[in-house]
């Protein structure tokens, strides 16, 4: 009988959880993970309440079965409750044997034994502490928080580089977009200084190559045009193709950096060459 009741309550609680998860609305501005923790807490409280109900039913069933069988009820002072079993306490009838000889102002104390599970837990924590000390500070077979953080950062950096390579492989002269990200522009500047400044100048003012800071362009002034010029070069005028030396992401960064120099008016700028292109159009393409 009791087993049937417990089974029914248990499976009822399992059925309730999906319905709670479906009907409960996840806060739009809250943390979903926190919401899940709260949901699990509520479910745990429900299980605990069901456990208490089953415990009460068990006690009632035991009393009723004893009366039906005609068994004599155990006196309250000799009865051992579940809490006494958990706490390692003795029945009230045996408390006289547990009284300590010493007392204070007429107050006596019982010499109840420490529960076995508590001793096991206590010695377990000591063993865990010793093992933790050996593993992390003596043998050093595992990393502390700082070491784990450094490893996670290294893994994240590798994943980031792999992602950037994937993104870079999808960039070409038809799909390239103008970047205004400061990190991209800084990387584009580094590449420009290292590879392009010899012909275009440190400030893109133009030396052998044309001035890249004005509104005049020989091969188009949109991001797609600048990217294409960098990628394939202009062999007839001595500019090599950079597609083998730079990946698509680097070429996008360089092209974006060049377009960010529009209107900078560096000293000793070379005279305009090519066709005039609207600078507003540059920022939109």
pLDDT tens digits along 239-257: 999 999 999 999 999 999 9
pLDDT at 4 over 70: no
**Is 117 or 168 the better-scoring residue by pLDDT?**
117
Mean pLDDT across 89-103 = 77
C-alpha triplet 39, 41, 46: angle, nearest 5°: 95
pLDDT at 91 over 50: yes
**Is 157 or 170 the better-scoring residue by pLDDT?**
157
Q: Which CATH class is domain 182-284?
A: mainly alpha
Residue by residue, what is the 3-state secondary structure of 110-126?
ECCCCCHHHHHHHHHHH
pTM of this structure: 0.49
Q: Do the beta carbons of residue 223 and residue 177 sit within 8 Å?
A: yes
Mean pLDDT across 212-224 = 95
Q: Do the beta carbons of residue 191 and residue 253 sit within 8 Å?
A: yes
- Tell me how far apart the alpha carbons of residues 253 and 178 are, in angstroms, rounded to a whole number: 8
State residue 26's pLDDT score. Answer: 43
Which distant-in-sequence residues (6+ apart) come within 8 Å of 116 by Cβ?
88
State residue 229's pLDDT score. Answer: 97
Which of 48-57, 102-111, 165-174 is predicted with the least confidence, judged by mean pLDDT? 102-111
User: Is residue 26 left, alpha or beta, with left meaning phi > 0 and alpha meaning psi from -120 to 50?
Assistant: beta
Nearest alpha carbon to residue 215 among 274, 284, 283: 274
pLDDT at 23 over 50: no
267: helix, strand or coil: coil
CA dihedral 46, 49, 54, 57 (to 10 degrees): -140
Residue identified by tokens 């010499």 is: 111
Q: Where are the alpha helices (DSSP H) in 134-239?
A: 145-169, 182-191, 197-200, 223-232
- Tell me how far apart the alpha carbons of residues 39 and 43 are, in angstroms, rounded to a whole number: 6
User: Two tokens at 248?
Assistant: 């698509």
State residue 93's pLDDT score. Answer: 74
pLDDT confidence bin for 3, thresholds 50/70/90: low
């Amino acid at each position: 009988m009791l087993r049937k009741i417990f089974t029914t309550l248990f499976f009822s609680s399992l059925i309730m959880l999906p319905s709670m998860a479906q009907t409960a609305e996840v806060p739009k501005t809250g943390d979903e993970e926190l919401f899940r923790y709260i949901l699990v807490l509520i479910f745990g409280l429900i299980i605990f309440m069901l456990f208490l109900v089953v415990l009460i039913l068990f006690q009632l069933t035991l009393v009723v079965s004893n009366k039906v069988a005609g068994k004599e009820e155990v006196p309250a002072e000799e009865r051992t409750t579940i809490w006494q079993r958990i706490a390692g306490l003795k029945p009230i009838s045996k408390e006289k044997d547990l009284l300590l000889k010493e007392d204070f102002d007429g107050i006596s104390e019982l010499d109840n034994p420490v529960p076995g599970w508590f001793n096991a837990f206590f010695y377990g924590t000591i063993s865990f502490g010793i093992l933790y000390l050996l593993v992390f500070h003596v043998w050093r077979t595992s990393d502390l928080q700082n070491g784990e953080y450094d490893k996670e950062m290294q893994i994240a950096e590798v994943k980031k580089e792999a992602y950037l390579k994937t993104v870079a492989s999808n960039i070409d002269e038809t799909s390239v977009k103008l970047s205004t990200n400061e990190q991209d522009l800084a990387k584009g500047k580094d590449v420009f200084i290292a590879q392009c400044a010899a012909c275009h100048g440190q400030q893109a003012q133009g030396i052998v190559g044309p001035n890249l800071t004005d509104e005049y362009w020989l091969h188009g002034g949109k991001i797609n045009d600048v990217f294409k010029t960098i990628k394939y070069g202009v062999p007839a005028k001595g500019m090599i193709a950079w597609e083998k030396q730079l990946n698509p992401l680097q070429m996008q960064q360089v092209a974006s950096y060049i377009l960010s120099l529009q209107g900078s008016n560096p000293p000793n700028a070379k005279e305009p060459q090519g066709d005039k292109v609207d600078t507003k159009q540059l920022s939109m393409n």
